[in-house]
Each structure stands twice: as structure tokens, then as C-alpha cells.
Structure 1
């Protein structure tokens, strides 16, 4: 990566993580000023004049520093993780087609798994013995025919599905509602290590960010987005899995 490329990635990350900007405004900025770095250096009035942009947003953008983006890149390098943008060949192709597609993904592990056909296997944290066995059978069967098992790295059905896929010698993608470097739930530490070694973890959140309520629905859209089909093994009527 050249210094110029790194500076542009850092500017893109800084804008992406700026509160109140969001995917739509980020795309508008990059398109209008031809790069993220160009957006950071654009005149206040030119930013505020863009569709959907306010003077307050323009002020925040003008005050934004690419240093926060450089910090994220350095943390990714220390972890051995990577940044994927939508035009990256390793970016999951189906995610480009969902409503509100992500403007970036952080990936840790075997990113080649993100391009393979996948089935989502999700369900309740508080499952029955039947649900656990059904998840194991389904995930292991899917893995044995070369299809990736995608799930949300939660305790319960998610963790069972990931482990069953890996136990069968297959591939698994874990979609997180937190940033890398945070183990959530803590009981899944060993599973995290296995997924980094033999599967792939992805998230929209920067390294070190803890999970919050709004992150779980956004995570769920990515699970269904990377998968050609999603199976809810077992869940209550008001479950977040639905």
C-alpha cells in the first residue's frame, strides 16, 4: 500500500466513523469531491450545499482529522485483520445488493470464504436440546458439501452452528455486533480463536468498539446479506433472530 493510498483509506475511515455522517452522506461526499481526502479538505460552503448535508454536518467534517483513520489502520495491522471496501475483490458480492449496503467491512481470518456460497444458521440464545441438535446437524451437513455457514457469534444456536461447521472441516463466517479486540460474549473466546484460524470474522464496527443495542439489527442484516438463504433453527416469536 502506497502512502497516498493509505492516506485516502485513513480519510475514508475517519469520515465513516464520524457521528451523524452515515453511509448515504459518505457516498455523497466521496462522489462530490472525488475522494475522501478531497471531502475532508473541501470548503465548508461546498460541503453544506450538497444534497442531504447540513451546515452542522459540514462543520463536523471540516473538523474531522484523518488521524483517527490512521489509528484504525494501525490497530488492524497489529491484529492481522484487514479493511474491505465495496470495490475490493474480497468484498462479499451479495452484500453489494442489499438495502443500505455497508460502506466498509473489517475482516479477520480467511477472507476467501466471503466469496463462497453461504447459508445463514441462526437462532435463540436460550435453546432447547432439540434446537441444539438440529443446529449441529444442519451446520455440519451444509459445511460438508462445501457451503459456508454464516451466523452471528452469539451464545446458543449461533455458537453451536459455527463450531459444528468447523468440526466438520468446513468454513464459517461470523458476523459481529462489536469491533475486533472485544470478545462478546466472553464465553466464546475459544470460538473466536478458532474462527480467526479456520473461518472469518467480519464487522462494520472499528476495533475496540463494544456492542450496543443498535448494532445487533445491523449485524443481522449482514448475516442474511452474505447468505443465499437463512435458516432460523429455533426462536421465540419476539426473538431478535427473527
Structure 2
């Protein structure tokens, strides 16, 4: 099956009423990841499906599918499927993992260690200043700052990260072609250009209240830890924090004045076991071991010869320097910034392999990730 036909089948499946990511994943497992077999199976079982699903499978909306495929054909746009090697492994262990993600920007950022920064939409000036300070420090320490593109704390975290010249990931509750809130249209474009916009929803999907808890589980799931900066007792940020805790991720809360209603949610989290933090360095120290473990997990999950041999070399000989594939990557990288596709051409390695290798080199302090999905070898390496 060619790529265009496979993408079309995926879009039909993703838009099938009542199927959902769980149903699609279950059928993919039964068919060993064959999307065309999934559709064939669904059509054979049409009589037991929801009438809307049967109608859609019998006669998909070709106008809608054509628009979806046109969006995916644009540079920097991708449908990242759970059957692909570079689908983020941290999402496999969350409740109701997505079957696919629509991405505008650098999909490889989802393989990097991420920290979520979330909080109140109606944040105070001080709260937004804290969000900016934490985001900048975490980004410069090598973590990808992830948030939800909402007003208030989310927007401040994204903006500060971009201003620091670092990539950021925004997980949104609409289709990847829409912006909510509308005031963040320019910010959304900057995130896509310098980082990645991520959505579980197909193009054209408008904002709905029930989309945002679903978005929040992805923010928590992608991140090694979630930092809450200002949250009322009814804040959606507390949902993200709860999901992060349930997923086994670290939860951090920034305390505030007892007279500030937007501090009460953070104080509740602290009483319930979240770690009180006053500086980004505390978060970096706490999450660095998890970031290193993520690199090893990626190598194992990708199950690729380069990644596997690298881990063997690291265990047996004590370092990546003994691995010829890593030496070749560093040689072709040189000291000038290069994009992932350039490195793939120079090395003959796939983007999935290179993402894993570059992540390990970043964690070792040998390579620096730059805006626009570029990488640069650090001096002295």
C-alpha cells in the first residue's frame, strides 16, 4: 500500500463515529498494525456498528478526506501513528492512549524529555512572571517545555521558551488547523515554526469542553513532570496534575500567598503529595534521572540496531565514544547547525534512529538542540 492510500485509510478510521482510539488500537493489535485490514474488518461488521459509523464507512465524505490529505501534504505537517517507531513511548502507558497525533512542526521533539507547565487562564502578573522564569530556565537546561496554548500560564510558558530561542510543544484541544483562543494565532504559528503543535483531533475540529480533559491527559503523558503555577480549586490544571500523578509522573506545585485564590489549587496539591518547588533547578535535579532513563527506553522501544548496539557499548565499554555510528554522526554534524533531514541524508540513517541517537548525545552534553529542529555539536566534543 502506498503512503497516500495508507494515510487515507487512517483518516477514515480516525473519523469513524464511535470507534475512538481504544477501539482502533484494539483492531490494529488484532491485525498486526494493518490499517486496511482494520477497515475491512469494520465493514464486515457493519451491521453491528452505530448507524452513523456504517454510513461513514460505506460512503466517507470525500471532501473532508481531501481537505485532510491536503493539510498533511503541507511542509512540516504529519500524522504520527501509533504503529510508527518514533511514536512517543511515554504515551503507551497512559489510560486511553491516542492512536495517532496530528503534528505541525518538529515531531521529533516528542521524543525529548519534556516538562509540562500549566496553570490558571486568569493568572496574575506575578503568576505569569513565574511561568516565564520557570519555562526559560527549564528550556535552557535542555527540557522541552510543553503546555496547552491556553491563555494565562500556558501562553506565558510558551512565549518565554520561544524568546529563549528554544523549542516548545503545544498540545491543543482543536484540530491542528484551528487556533483556540484566537488571540494566540501568532503564538500558534511561532510554536509550529520553532517547536510543535500537537492534536489528537483531525483538521477542522472545533473546540469543545470535553476536548480539553482529553488534551490534558496528553500533556501529562508526554511530560516527565508537571509544574502547576497558580490554579484555583476548580482549575483544569488540577486535572492535568491528577492525571500526571496517576500516570506515575512527578507533580510540582509553586506555592503562593494564602490570600490569593489562585494559590489554593497549588496548596491543595502540596497537601496531597505534590513537591513544593521554588526554583527550576529543583525540577531539573529531580527529573534528570528520568530524562536519562527515557533515552535508554527510546533505544529499546525503537528496537533498531544502532540504538541497541549503542546501549551494549555503553554498558560494556562505558561510553558512546566506542560506537562507530555515533562517531560518524558527530563527524558529519561538525560544528555548524544541521536539520534532522540533512543528517539523515549525510548518514543514511532514518529519522527515528537519529532522534534516539541525538537525544542521548544531548543528555551526555555533546550536542545541543536548536530552534527549527536543528542540532549542533558542542565545542570540545
TM-score (normalizing by structure 1): 0.88
Q: What is the SS of the residue equivalent to 1:223?
A: helix
The correspondence for 1:29, drawn from 14, 27, 30, is: 27
The correspondence for 2:15, drawn from 14, 17, 20, is: 17
Unpaired stretches in structure 2, ≥5 consecutive residues: 239-381
CA distance 1:47–1:141, change in 2 (3 Å): same
The correspondence for 2:145, drawn from 138, 144, 149, is: 149
1:31 Cα deviation after fit: 3.9
What is the alpha-carbon distance in structure 2 between the residues aligned to residue 72 and residue 170 of structure 1?
30
The correspondence for 2:96, drawn from 93, 100, 103, is: 100
CA distance 1:30–1:86, change in 2 (3 Å): closer
1:113 aligned onto 2:73:
no
Alignment of 1:1-242 (within 5 A): 4-33=2-31, 35-42=34-41, 46-47=44-45, 54=49, 56=51, 59-60=54-55, 62-65=57-60, 67=62, 68-78=64-74, 80-242=76-238
Query: Corresponding residue for 2:369?
Result: none
What is the alpha-carbon distance in structure 2 between the residues aligned to residue 32 and residue 97 of structure 1?
19
Q: What is the SS of the residue equivalent to 1:90?
A: coil
What is the alpha-carbon distance in structure 2 between the residues aligned to residue 201 and residue 78 of structure 1?
14
1:59 Cα deviation after fit: 3.2
CA distance 1:59–1:197, change in 2 (3 Å): closer
What is the alpha-carbon distance in structure 2 between the residues aligned to residue 180 and residue 57 of structure 1?
24
Q: What is the SS of the residue equivalent to 2:86?
A: coil
Q: Residue by residue, what CA displacement relative to the aligned partner does 1:61-84 show, whole Å, maximum 9, x if unpaired?
A: 642538454541222213641110
What is the alpha-carbon distance in structure 2 between the residues aligned to residue 220 and residue 43 of structure 1?
30
**Higher RCO (C-alpha under 8 Å, 6+ residues apart):** 1
TM-score (normalizing by structure 2): 0.57
Structure 1 or 2, whichever has the larger Rg, is 2
Q: What is the SS of the residue equivalent to 2:104?
A: strand
1:224 Cα deviation after fit: 0.4
What is the alpha-carbon distance in structure 1 between the residues aligned to residue 27 and residue 45 of structure 2?
8
Question: How many aligned residue pairs are there?
Answer: 236
Unpaired stretches in structure 1, ≥5 consecutive residues: none
CA distance 1:63–1:143, change in 2 (3 Å): same
Q: Which moved more, 1:84-93 or 1:106-115?
A: 84-93
